[in-house]
Chains A and B, each alone.
Chain A
């Protein structure tokens, strides 16, 4: 290249790097440091306490419960969402009548895609407020209204939804699945459409049924996309802060009733901004980080398969 290359490179890189290092990398590193102190966050006063915060975390029942709830979401959310999305994507792309010498989707596939995808573009806060209204504990909530109308719930003793310790996490899960399916449906649809039609037709000629086509052709060819979806959903399950913090009962950042929907993220925020335990909160941040790291490494390893070229 000609002269002036280096000034150009520096000129283009300097701002992004300063922003990125200053506001992203440096805070990441600082968190590790602060997690070893008893810093309250209110003053500059802090003492080095070694790994005390981490041993305290191991004895903190609320935190362990929160960790467990995150694991629950991690285990259930990806499976449920991916299964529903795959099912719908298969319906939309190859579920239609296959008679006319080929494989095709159902009619109105475009319409369904548009509708299913819509929750994805709504801000998560809109979802939270919307579902709070749906989950109201008396007959004025939509969920109870429907159940009472169908005769599945008693108008005098409606379902408590978010105030029911055993139900609250399932309610959150329901919202996450409700809003997520559309996105993964479109994702899988796009992947299915890139599978050459001949493959389906060859399978059809060989006498494969729909079930076989799905499990022997669609799923293996889509494996990489499913894997991506899995990682993305795992990240969603690790977060879920906005929903729990704004929908569930609790003094600050939800988590109720009685910590039954507590997540690591809500507990972190409460410790940081309400309890003034910044050092302790940092230790939780580090735990969340390692959790995510292990998770992505494991899921990429376990689900690794040979790439199929077509």
Chain B
């Protein structure tokens, strides 16, 4: 502790010599900084341990045996085998849930961004009757809790299933459309202000050159709006990846023997329920590890974009 306080002293010394600021005060600030520095590092490190430790514990758990997991929290894996991962992937269907989630997210993200950008662009850049009203309706939707819609939504999707089996409950396309619909308010709201902030000159030049409205949008405006699209895109990836209430309500097998289209989030919770009965705790821990790893990899490679994208999206 004392070392860090001592360390601050030489740093302040040249300042006193330069006389550019009231030395005594700067020094006082610096001194308290030294103590505070140790203090803050302590708290920061403690919180970092609080975050990392449970995660590591879970990873470690996937190498333990069932008896070890149910014995003591401090047991150490006796032999390192990946058996539990295989059992979670096949018997626990983690692999299938992963595929389901990827299919739905791929569809819903593409559609959300495309439809959201189209609507936001038209509402931001074109004047026509009812423009403000439509915008207002879109934005108002972001204020409402999803629980307000849950019960009728369930029946709405079920009825869609009677029109086409591709759309109903427990169908990918049905869930994709629901995800898109519920992501639109925020996407439109965010991109609306973004399109407004873009310069009009480029667009006008394109129009003078005989560009059609549609082409002007896809070839001029979308590339210009790329930073905004990335921000809101990241926001939507996380939002839809984290979604739980919608798949729980909409993705249940409607009859026995129907394919299980559960999202990863649902599947994992179900696995947790079953692992109690089947006494296969390692598979559960391995399942969790496998669900965390891809996120960790993506997050670590894009963490700067994720952080700035998310915060700028929220601050709008």
Contact = CB atoms under 8 A, between A and B. Distances in A.
B226 interface: no
Contact of B33 (A25, A92, A97): A97
A27 B315 contact: no
Nearest to A292: B145
A16 B71 contact: no
A50 interface: no
B89 interface: no
Contacts of A285: 145, 147-151
Choose among A99, A129, A285 the residue with the greatest number of B CB atoms under 10 Å from its CB: A99
B72 A112 contact: no
A146 B72 CA distance: 11
Contacts, number: 312
In this complex, the interface size class of chain B, counting residues with CB under 8 Å from chain A, is 35 or more
A88 B29 contact: no
Contact of B37 (A17, A106, A122): A106
B47 interface: yes
Nearest to A148: B73
Interface in B101-123: 115-116, 118-119, 121-123
Interface string A287-298: 011001100100
A140 B52 contact: no
Interface string A235-256: 1001101100110000000000
Given A31-B152, A123-B264, A123-B265, A207 B22 contact: yes
Interface in A110-144: 112-126, 128-134, 138-142, 144
Contact of B291 (A126, A141, A210, A282): A126
A181 B44 CA distance: 12
A220 interface: no
A114 B301 CA distance: 11
B153 interface: yes
A16 B51 contact: no
A273 B288 contact: no
Interface stretch (A5-13, A55-63, A71-79): A5-13
Contacts of B41: 106
A245 B245 CA distance: 10
Interface residues of A, number: 110
Interface string B23-43: 001111110111011001101
Given A27-B156, A210-B36, 18 more contacts: A6-B128, A16-B119, A20-B137, A24-B181, A91-B43, A97-B37, A101-B21, A119-B51, A125-B244, A129-B269, A130-B288, A133-B284, A191-B315, A210-B33, A228-B314, A245-B248, A289-B145, A289-B147
11 contacts: A5-B128, A8-B212, A24-B182, A27-B153, A101-B20, A122-B292, A125-B264, A139-B72, A205-B25, A207-B22, A289-B145
Interface of B: 7-8, 11-12, 15, 20-22, 25-30, 32-34, 36-37, 40-41, 43-44, 47-48, 50-55, 57-58, 61, 69-74, 115-116, 118-119, 121-123, 126, 128, 134, 137-138, 141, 143-145, 147-156, 177-178, 180-182, 184-185, 188, 207, 212-214, 217, 238, 241-242, 244-245, 248-249, 264-266, 268-269, 271-272, 284-285, 288, 291-292, 295-296, 298-300, 303, 306-308, 310-312, 314-315
